[in-house]
Structure 1
Amino acid sequence: IRLLAAQKAAGMLQITGEAGASVYAGFLVQARNNQRFVTLEDAVIGEGGTVSVPIQAYEAGPEGNVDAGAIDTVVTPLAAVVSVTNPKATAGGRARETWQEFRERYYNSVDKAGGSNTDAIRAQLLETEDVVNAVVWENDTDEMDEAGLLPHSIQAIVYGGTDTNVATAIHARKAAGIQTCGTSSAKLLDASGKLRTIRFSRPTAVPIHVRISSLVTDAAYPGDDTLKAAVVDYIGSEGTSLAASGLSIGETVYYNRLMCPINETQGVVDYILEISTDGAAWQKANIVLTALQKAVTSPDKVVISR
């Protein structure tokens, strides 16, 4: 694998102007943070006086990820264009991958061509559509182990993804003759036309309620929504179609570590933190999960008061 190169942000631009006027590819606009964007296609302003066209940041980097409405300046002179804006935020811009990020990705990767160990199976699962998190256990002994795994078997615990896609990913990487265990299953045909039953398990989602009270902030505080988003990103959001998984399956919700995303939010000065699994019994202590549970939360479960 190689270092990921810097990438340019992309999005859509809405151009308002004279109906019937042409706006050629390469038309330059600028956001409030001075980042420039270029249109990627020729366009003709419609009868309603507007047209939407795809754009890309002029330079690679995260600075190209701007909020909706941030692009408002025309750089290329064109009399027919009255105004420009981006109805939705641009996304996809990133800096060149750091060596630390590369090392972490490297150690999580495997040689897919011949990989059939638990790391290879987990890597295949994590690349499966809508899979948020996965762990794979194995018992390579001749007896049932303490976790209840059958001899010479594997058990994948998978959060997200359809049953069929999960089963397909496991079957693609598991070694021949190895049993699959779990409380969920899906059937699929192998290359020889035989119907196989692939078993795996689904973790139980444990909702985590977070109460931030007596919050003190300064002028740099961006707002409660930003603070809530930081907490949700750290724990992991409810649902399966996610880019980020938050805490891993079976990982304890450490009370002290949860302070990190709060402390790192700009403008936060002081607060009292409490957590709960039901929104009623609050505590200032860790929430320990079993190996078949995963912590999740959502903005409505993060309560902020002053």
Structure 2
Amino acid sequence: MFNEKGLKILTYSELLDEMELKAKDLFGEDINTRSYTPLGIILRIYAYFLSIIWQIIEKVYFSGFIKSSEGIQLDRHGGNRNIPRNAEKESTVFLNITGTSGYELKIGSFFETASGIRFFTIETAILDSKGIANVEAISFSKGAINNVPANSITVISEPIEQLLSVNNLKEATGGIDEESDLAYRQRLIKGNLAQNNATVDAIISKVSNVSGVVSVQVNVNNTMTEKNGIPPKTVNILAVGGNDSDIGKMIFNTIGAGVGTVGETKYIATALDGNKHEINFSKATTKLVYMKIEIESSNLFPLDGIQKMKDSIIEFIGGSDSNEKYHNGLGLLETLVYTKLFRQIYEIPGVLNSTVRIGLNQNNLTSSDILAPSKAILITSIEAIEVIVHAQ
């Protein structure tokens, strides 16, 4: 039913009560509508299917609002605002390959990590006089799991005599999972808050809409002197993830004319009049958080308790969980507060006591907060979390 407070659906029991009242109104107060009578059985069948219809009505009603819609309905809201959901995407990386001088490496040559994450080359390359070639490759599958760290792609999938070794000197980037309803909804809400260009909110919103970008920070220097390393009257945009060209193009289309940009990454944009404009911005790196957790547990601790604990911590900090689902977690330059980890630990049944040590260096773990390094975002992984259980 609709009223000034919105929609209130009728439940199965409410429908049955109303149908029994109507039956007694039509057939008399002494009509028997109990569950074992023919009329009672019919009323209960109709009430059951009507309750399902009311549930559908409720879903249709709430799908009209961004904050309560989900799935394809949420995609429709994004389509109306020209903000599509980010689809899953492959990761890209440059491979340093050594072998016989003059050997031609063909397109589609496969290389992989020790754990079996495969990449294939998308261009031909001829090994130079030193027997070295740098070639671009993309991941065979899609998803954030393919954003492997530097020095991890070391296996030649199909070994041949002319190739000696392969390595990625930098981490693979650009791989993303399909955007979740929660992340997509938050992005659509941000888009509503920043409709115009040339504002800080607009820059954050529109750069966040670039496929693969998971976090954005905008630093503006409106003064006539250098401030925090930013030249006068310029803006520094710091982004996590995404393709450099896509980010540069979006910045060019968003900032006002005459606004200076600063950063280590350069993009040359071409205006409608054919003139070239240099756009500069910064790309943040990811820093892996290592931790060692020792717990005392009771017999209530579940068999998959360690996995659940690791997944909960990853969801809080950020990274790929045991189901290879990527979580954004902490924001850009956000501090990892040490004491907040205990909530993720004690939410697992059977945990009686715990000690936690964390750090950016696996050999130097402490019981203190971690400040995100400059231009970096903190993440963790299943392998980086060690959990030791002492049963009581």
Q: When the two structures are superposed, what TM-score results if normalisation uses the length of structure 1?
A: 0.62
1:223 equivalent among 305, 308, 322: 305
Which residue pairs with 2:255 in the alignment? Answer: 174
Q: Report whether the alignment pairs 1:296 with 2:379.
A: yes
1:39-58 aligned within 5 A? none
Contact between 1:149 and 1:155, CA under 8 Å: does it hold in 2?
Answer: yes
Structure 1 counterpart of 2:68, one-letter code: A
Deviation at 1:270, TM superposition (A): 2.7
Aligned partners of 2:255, 2:278: CA distance in 1, in Å?
A: 13
The structure with the larger Rg is 2
Q: Report whether the alignment pairs 1:193 with 2:287.
A: no
Aligned partners of 1:219, 1:303: CA distance in 2, in Å?
A: 21
In structure 1, runs of 5+ residues without a counterpart are 10-90
Which residue pairs with 2:216 in the alignment? Answer: 134
Which residue pairs with 2:70 in the alignment? Answer: 7
Classify the secondary structure of the residue corresponding to 1:3.
coil
1:281 equivalent among 347, 353, 364: 364
Deviation at 1:243, TM superposition (A): 5.6
Contact between 2:295 and 2:351, CA under 8 Å: does it hold in 1?
Answer: no
Aligned partners of 1:158, 1:144: CA distance in 2, in Å?
A: 21
**Are residues 183 and 105 of structure 1, via their aligned partners in 2, closer, same or farther at CA, if it must alter by over 3 Å?**
closer
Contact between 1:128 and 1:169, CA under 8 Å: does it hold in 2?
Answer: yes
Deviation at 1:223, TM superposition (A): 2.8
**Are residues 233 and 155 of structure 1, via their aligned partners in 2, closer, same or farther at CA, if it must alter by over 3 Å?**
same
**Are residues 197 and 210 of structure 1, via their aligned partners in 2, closer, same or farther at CA, if it must alter by over 3 Å?**
same
Aligned partners of 2:300, 2:196: CA distance in 1, in Å?
A: 55
Structure 2 counterpart of 1:193, one-letter code: G
Deviation at 1:263, TM superposition (A): 2.7
Equivalent pairs, count: 217
Contact between 2:187 and 2:208, CA under 8 Å: does it hold in 1?
Answer: no
2:293 equivalent among 198, 205, 212: 212
How far does the alpha carbon of each residue in 1:106-143 deviate from its partner, in whole angstroms, 9 at most, with x for none? 87445554232111101111111011111010011222
Q: Report whether the alignment pairs 1:115 with 2:197.
A: yes
Q: When the two structures are superposed, what TM-score results if normalisation uses the length of structure 2?
A: 0.49
Which residue pairs with 2:232 in the alignment? Answer: 151
Contact between 1:210 and 1:303, CA under 8 Å: does it hold in 2?
Answer: yes
Aligned partners of 2:279, 2:325: CA distance in 1, in Å?
A: 24
Which residue pairs with 2:319 in the alignment? Answer: 237
